[in-house]
Structure 1
Amino acid sequence: MRLDPEPPGIFQAIAKIKQELYINIELASPQDFLPPLPGWRDRNVFIGKQGKISFYHYDFTAQALSKLSRGFDRDRDDVQAMYEQRLFSLRELRDCFEAIAPELLRFPSLDPDMLRSRVENFIERNEGKPEEGQS
């Protein structure tokens, strides 16, 4: 979840919801783990509006790169499912990775070469495959 901008009183409301519903709410987005991707705002997908608050899916390309950077099996499965649902393209994934690659040094917990390898492997595994809904 990413708040942009942060509305006054939001953290008090989140704390109350967490207590009342006994749920975990994580205030994290791909921008907390990777440099922001160029054009990420344009790739956010509108969900709906409640009062003055609009809800969006955060850029699926950024989500895919973030999940590939973590590299867990579940994350790789998520990225594959997102790709098969045509939520991002291989070209977007490649172009966005190349755009942020020089900035990855700002994230010392990341191994840029490992992330490049994971991105390239994902693209290679999926190139030439028809995307979901295509024949």
Structure 2
Amino acid sequence: MLPRRFCSFMAHANLVPVAFKQRVLQVENMLRQRLSQEQVLWPQEEAPLASAVRPDPSALFFNLRVSRQDLLRGTLAQMYTASPSDLRRPLRVAFEGEEAVDEGGVMREFFRVLSRELFAPE
């Protein structure tokens, strides 16, 4: 998404501060996610019918539904079977058997538990 010339500029560590690179990557990621969501809303091949068909709102996100008991394996299995376009969408996490809307807290809990499992000494 970034122009090739800009990527070359960003590659020079002595010219570009790390905080600026981080912000550029965040903005680029947000734009890519939004583009992926727009492609769900208005597919190219169905453009004339786009206004008549209402897409499933859950299709706008990569919905990850995992069990707390098998978090790592369940996460990897769903990510492995997801399409690249699914993985570009914003993440929504739900734990099986729990009624919670992911407004950020569930995702934070997911990454906290996942990182604990990933870095466990055993």
Give the TM-score band, short-chain normalised. Answer: under 0.3
TM-score (norm 1): 0.25
TM-score (norm 2): 0.26
| Greater gyration radius | 2
